[in-house]
Amino acid sequence: MIPINTLFIAGHAKLPTGMAAKNVYDSLTITAEIDKKYGVILEASCTLATEHGRDYVSSLLRGFSLQDGIEEPIRVLQHHYRGRAANALAAALKDLHLQYEHLKGKT
């Protein structure tokens, strides 16, 4: 059964040249299951090439509320994630937040 109190949102960004994930994907995507009432990221995933990287990004993003804006999750991501995809991850997070704001206006 699909929970009716959550939203599933995706944010996209272009990957830098030379990334391992670039061989599989043209863009980097962050997806998130978000609590409708509070905007909290319950679960997140991304299209980084390694499972370890995907799990790490997920753990960094879990628990942030998009109602509070996207600056703090981006700051935390940029402080802790030092891979080549850092800028693409930040851009995908900004896009995800934009999608959230757009959907929030419709609900």
Neighbours of 67 (CB within 10 A): 14
pLDDT of residue 25: 57
Write phi, then psi, for 29 (nearest 5 degrees): -125, 135
Rounded Cα distance between 107 and 88, Å, is 28
Say what the pTM is: 0.85
Hey, what CATH class is 6-106 in? Answer: alpha beta
Taking the CA of residue 95 as centre, how many other CA atoms within 13 Å lie in the half-sphere pointing to its CB? 16
Domain spans, the chain? 6-106
Bridge partners (DSSP) listed for residue 65: 40
pLDDT mean values, one per 10 residues, the chain (107 residues)? 84 75 69 96 93 96 97 96 91 96 80
3-state secondary structure 16-57: CCCCHHHHCCCEEEEEEEEECCCCEEEEEEECCCCHHHHHHH
